[in-house]
């Protein structure tokens, strides 16, 4: 029986695995070559303010009480026109924090719609939607990049309550608005959006017997955006509750353990609830 040279075999196997690793590393951006090419040849506009008229009309037609008619939305020419608006509009020359904030909130909300609509019908959002790259202003961004790298600083500079205007397309996220946000009027939308989310029975629970105060994990995932004048998201939620429901948090255990449902905000789901 021939003697096996384990050392030489090991020396051969190592470069094979190293080569496979390099191929995977190089091929990741290659997947987006069509998008990079499209972005390179786009004719961009550089406005100092944005209205996103197609996107606004799209929301008015297909969003009802935070739920979306994805089946009809995905085939409407307004859908592709809305993406074209974001593809070709550069935020570089937008004037003021609120203009930039509205641009990126509208962008995040629309791309969340697009990530779902492009794969519809589906039941839940996942990492595939969050990591997919889209063209915005001639550059490629993922939803994760926009949420983690661009929005926190803008929200901190403008108004921490703006976090409640963001909708990732799940039923446990803040409700999607039926209109696009504009710098001139967005200031009046922060408080209603906050109260709609905070006061929803799905997002807080107080167990007097167990002395347990529970809130949505949404607060934990967005800690960077909350007003530092509150000791914690728990104290913020408690402060917005009706007086008769507020508690002394020092006497309660606190947890982010309420369910967060990743089912999409499909209008069909809403109809099934009725």
Q: Which of 146, 135, 190 is CA-nearest to residue 168?
A: 146
Question: Can you name the residues that pair with 253 across neighbouring β-strands?
Answer: 212
Q: pLDDT by residue (tens digit) across 190-237?
A: 999 999 999 999 999 999 999 999 999 999 999 888 877 899 999 999
Locate 158 and state its tokens: 């403008």
Residues 6+ apart with CB under 8 A from 185: none
User: So what's the pLDDT on residue 130?
Assistant: 81
Q: Which residues are bridge partners to 229 per DSSP?
A: none
> What pLDDT digit, counting tens, does each position of 249-274 carry?
999 999 999 999 999 999 987 765 54
User: How many angstroms separate the Cα of 234 from the Cα of each of 53, 201, 202, 244?
Assistant: 38, 15, 15, 16
Return the pLDDT at 228.
Answer: 78
pLDDT at 128: 79
DSSP single-letter state for residue 101 = H
Q: Give pTM, 2 decimals.
A: 0.85
Tokens encoding 100: 């930039």
């Amino acid at each position: 029986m021939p003697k096996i040279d384990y050392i030489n075999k090991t020396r051969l196997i190592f470069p094979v695995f190293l080569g496979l690793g390099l191929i995977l590393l190089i091929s990741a951006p290659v997947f987006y070559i069509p998008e990079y090419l499209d972005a390179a040849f786009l004719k961009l506009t550089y406005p100092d303010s944005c209205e996103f008229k197609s996107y606004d009309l799209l929301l008015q037609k297909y969003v009802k009480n935070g739920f979306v008619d994805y089946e009809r939305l995905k085939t409407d020419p307004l859908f592709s026109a809305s993406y074209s608006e974001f593809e070709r509009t550069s935020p570089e020359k937008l004037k003021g924090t609120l203009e930039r904030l509205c641009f990126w909130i509208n962008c995040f909300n629309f791309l969340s719609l697009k990530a779902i609509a492009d794969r519809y019908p589906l039941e839940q959002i996942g990492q595939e939607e969050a990591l997919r790259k889209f063209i915005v202003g001639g550059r490629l961004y993922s939803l994760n990049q926009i949420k983690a790298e661009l929005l926190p600083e803008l929200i901190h500079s403008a108004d921490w309550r703006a976090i409640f205007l963001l909708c990732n397309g799940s039923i446990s996220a803040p409700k999607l608005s039926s209109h696009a946000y504009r710098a001139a009027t967005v200031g009046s939308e922060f408080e209603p959006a906050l109260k709609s989310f905070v006061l929803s029975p799905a997002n807080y629970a107080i167990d007097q017997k167990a002395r347990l105060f529970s809130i949505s994990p949404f607060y934990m995932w967005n800690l960077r955006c909350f007003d530092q004048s509150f000791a914690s998201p728990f104290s913020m939620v408690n402060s917005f509750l009706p007086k008769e429901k507020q508690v002394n948090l020092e006497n309660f255990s606190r947890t982010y353990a309420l369910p967060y449902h990743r089912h999409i905000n499909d209008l069909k789901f809403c109809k099934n609830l009725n």
